[in-house]
Structure 1
Amino acid sequence: MKQKKLHNIKETGFKVPDDYFNTLENVILSDIKLKKVSKDSGFKLPEDYFNNLEDTIIDKVSTKTPTKVISLFRKKTIIYLSGIAAAVLLLFYISFPEKKPAFDSLDFETVENYIMNENIGSYEIATLLTEEDLLEEHFIEYKEGDEDTIETYILDNLDIDDIILE
């Protein structure tokens, strides 16, 4: 369908400025006259410019002015920083002793007070025990005379609510 409309196009789409062909001859002749009159471009180079160019560049590059060097690490700052580092190392050495406390040196009352004051339950204690710890051999056998002592301990230290809940 597009091919049928091609023979109907009356305009090419190109436009020429007004009086272009009338003034074209004058423009070309004026350019030719200008080139005849001015053979010189107007720019002048000094004599032997390209012969001496390499030498002048090398002279400018090779002359170095001494630069002033400022040290980043002065003796005073190094001493200051090493003193701080020594103080920090000493602090860590003092606060973390090499000898760890042993459980053998703890008193029975200290452990008992810790368990009572920290609200540690029986389930948390049971998770720390192994099967070997729960063998019958490790429990103390009470004599008949000790029953009175156990009974007075229970009556003095436990509430009725604790006995009922257990």
Structure 2
Amino acid sequence: MNIEENKIKHPFKTPEGYFDNLEDQILSEINLAKISKKEVFKTPDDFFSKLESEILSKTVEKPTLTVTHRNYSWKYIRVAAASLVFAGMGYLFYANTQEPKNDLAEISSDDIVLYLATQPISMTDIAQNLDDKTVENLDLNMIPNSIEITENDLILLTDENEI
């Protein structure tokens, strides 16, 4: 296998001696006689002699007279208007808030007893409602694996807690 045969050949090629006489070819094609030697740009008379004085007259600071008019009444009016807006928004926010309803107060004790009698109560449910002192004094050997609560127990419980 010959490396020269497999080498990719460049597709573009310039003619021999192209850059040697390129400048002469370009100059031969340009006709210098057609280009006019007339001045295209012209400066006004005495432009450069007046230039310095014009620049200085524009850059030297002139005293400026500033008049400030302070109208404090508008400032107080804006502050008062903003305060009224915030007070109105606060009133609307707090006026629309309602006290939370105690939904259990509307349910009779008999309905609560009936509901609790039909619900299974696990040891976890009981343990979640015990306080720390009760847990410390609790004898775990005395607790059976399942507790059966009667309807009378529930009535006593609701009467004691005024539910």
Q: What TM-score comes out, normalization by structure 1 length? A: 0.35
Q: What TM-score comes out, normalization by structure 2 length? A: 0.36
Q: Which has the higher contact order (CA 8 A, sep 6+)?
A: 2
**Structure whose residues are more often helix by fraction:** 1
